[in-house]
Structure 1
Amino acid sequence: MQKTLFLLLFVFTALSSYSQDFFDRNVDQDKCYVLLCDPTVSRIQTILYLTENKVFKVEDEVEFVGVYFEDQKYDFAKTQQYIEDKKLDKFHLQAISGNLNVNNLFQENGISRQLKKAFDNSAGVIFFGGPDIPPAVYGEENTLSVVTDPERHFFEASFLFHLLGGFQDETFTPFLAARPDYLVTGFCLGMQTMNVATGGTLVQDIPEEVYGAGNAEQTVKTDREDLHRNYWQELAEDTLLMGINLHPIQFTGNSFFGKTVKVKKNRTPKILSAHHQAAEKIGKNLEVTALSHDGKVVEALAHRVYPNVFAVQFHPEVASLYENMAALKFAPDDEPKTYHEIIGKEGVRFHKAYWKHISKALQSVKN
């Protein structure tokens, strides 16, 4: 009998340790929590790589809480199992539930209290890349978007609106009004969602709307430096073709790159790009800090009121930027190279400088 009770107690304790309602049970006021939206297994692996290799430098008391909407398509039981199997005691999960639809995102709604609890118990949040946002979220008809997980977008757009406010309701008081130094950053889709959540819009397809290329054959005739993902995959059967592009960006006159992120303003570092949509009308209080090589695509945004709110259209989180991994090629006739080789020393320095700023921003919040 005692063995049975002990076993039941052990199982209950184990399940509680890896529960997906972290902020309802286990908050330690001596810890610093960073939220990770869409915490898939690959996201956890990414953060592990960045922190273990000192690209993203965090103190010992920093822990990560993956937050997600229960109606998302991904099965986050996989993440919970991964955390348990790898004994990752600094990673946790928090599920958010409620009624979200395209009409109630930019106002107080059924998840507002849960968002506020996550905000109150954390120092910052990271929004990652992903599929297309439903154009209805920013008041447009879907003409060129491929929407696969609308619930994820409803959640992340509403969360960012709660954090920052937007043109949709000028009377709304955002969470950061009370804590203006809170860290909010995002990559690729994360930047697009930040723009949409604050009242901006998107170009639904860069090749067609910006360059007038209606198919892959026409798109690959565009200058390689002006492509934002690899369309050769649609035309050639070659297992070494990368799905992304590594192309240069340029900095605007905004002081974010140069003064805030310590880089030389005249540099044009290569970055990793994998998108076909882009910020169009810019959201409330956001400023453009970087552009594509030809100046036609927004590559980075920063908030003019909240100093630790900024995002980029590219992917600085990808591990293969920081060391040689798989050798791939962009076009069928290219020689295979690693991402690390392609971006070169200048690109690596830029990406490390960007993560250094994220690390410093988090440290400033924590203190």
Structure 2
Amino acid sequence: MASNGSDRRRPRIGVTTYLVPARHGVWEHEAALLPRTYLDVVVRAGGTPLLLPPLPEVDPDVLGVLDGLVLSGGGDVDPARYGAEPHPQTGGTSAVRDAAEETLLRAALAADVPVLGVCRGMQVMNVALGGTLVQHLPDVVGHEGHRPEPATFGRTCVRLADGSLLGGLLGEQTDVACYHHQAVGELAPDLVPVGRAEDGTVEAVELRGPRYAVGVQWHPEQTGEDLRLFRSLVAAASAVLA
């Protein structure tokens, strides 16, 4: 969103949410939710978070009020979106959320709004741009290290490519918090793999060309003291305001 030059507001970062049953007070019903850690890191990085619910009809013009977009983590992408039958371990899919986030992603890329995909968000990027997913990673790598226990983050050492945006930002390698059982299968033509785990799993991607669009398979919002990735997103969003 363009600025008139005198506008010094904080960049507005849209963050996608998910619809799940929730209880608060005496009420129990479906709600649009997001872990607070996303909000905290966006604020600490210098942005203003705006929550984006997964609606059946998404107005792509919402990008007119956003300066950056985060595709957050969550359940699996519906394998029908990349022409596959569901694996027995695939779950938590939402056709509405998949479609909503693809609409937001395409609108962001068309408007040159910076994008960060987190875990599922990176997978959404890959599928939306023509790639596929490995539906159950332990079948391929032979271990459960990327999702060791329910509700327990694993640790993964990611080696980053020289000359990549993420390599310049995070260094040659970085230790990250991960929680995923799916991963990139066939890579989308417009994405470049710039980070891999020791077992070969693609852990980071960047869009070809000058636009800021990166995806990480890990959860950078879980490491509140390391704001480099979110500060990079906010800095790119600030450039949209200039």
Bin for the TM-score computed over the shorter chain: 0.7 to 0.9
Shift of 1:51: 4.7
Q: SS state of the match for residue 271, structure 1?
A: strand
1:304 aligns with 2:208: yes
Greater Rg over alpha carbons, structure: 1
Q: Quick one: higher RCO (CA 8 Å, sep 6+), 1 or 2?
A: 2
Partner of 2:67: 123
Q: Is contact 2:161–2:167 with CA below 8 Å preserved after alignment?
A: no
Return the alpha-carbon distance in structure 1 between the equivalents of residues 218 and 171 of structure 2.
19
1:141 aligns with 2:47: no
TM-score between the two structures when normalised by the length of structure 1: 0.55
Distance verdict in 2 for CA 1:187–1:154, change over 3 Å: same
Q: Is contact 2:12–2:49 with CA below 8 Å preserved after alignment?
A: yes
Shift of 1:41: 4.4
- Taking only aligned residues, the RMSD between alpha carbons, in angstroms, comes to 2.4
Which amino acid is the alignment partner of residue 161 of structure 1? R
Partner of 2:227: 352
Q: Number of paired residues?
A: 221
Please give the residue correspondences for 1:1-367 in structure 2 after superposition, counting only pairs within 5 Å: 32-38=11-17, 40-43=32-35, 45-51=36-42, 54=44, 56-58=45-47, 63-70=48-55, 97-98=56-57, 111=58, 114-115=59-60, 117-144=61-88, 145-164=90-109, 175-176=110-111, 180=112, 182-208=113-139, 210-211=140-141, 213=142, 219=143, 227-231=145-149, 243-259=152-168, 261=169, 263-265=170-172, 268-294=173-199, 296-318=200-222, 321-322=223-224, 351-367=226-242
- Specify which structure has the higher proportion of helix: 1
Distance verdict in 2 for CA 1:183–1:286, change over 3 Å: same
What stretches of structure 2 of length at least 5 have no aligned partner?
A: 1-5, 19-31
Return the alpha-carbon distance in structure 2 between the equivalents of residues 49 and 120 of structure 1.
23
TM-score between the two structures when normalised by the length of structure 2: 0.81
Return the alpha-carbon distance in structure 1 between the equivalents of residues 196 and 51 of structure 2.
30
What stretches of structure 1 of length at least 5 have no aligned partner?
A: 1-28, 71-96, 99-110, 165-174, 214-218, 221-226, 234-241, 323-347
Q: Is contact 1:158–1:197 with CA below 8 Å preserved after alignment?
A: no
Return the alpha-carbon distance in structure 1 between the equivalents of residues 17 and 127 of structure 2.
18
Return the alpha-carbon distance in structure 2 between the equivalents of residues 352 and 51 of structure 1.
9
Q: Is contact 1:273–1:314 with CA below 8 Å preserved after alignment?
A: yes
**CA deviations over 1:41-99 (Å, ceiling 9, x no partner):** 444x22442255x3x123xxxx43322233xxxxxxxxxxxxxxxxxxxxxxxxxx43x
- Specify which structure has the higher proportion of strand: 2
Distance verdict in 2 for CA 1:246–1:358, change over 3 Å: same
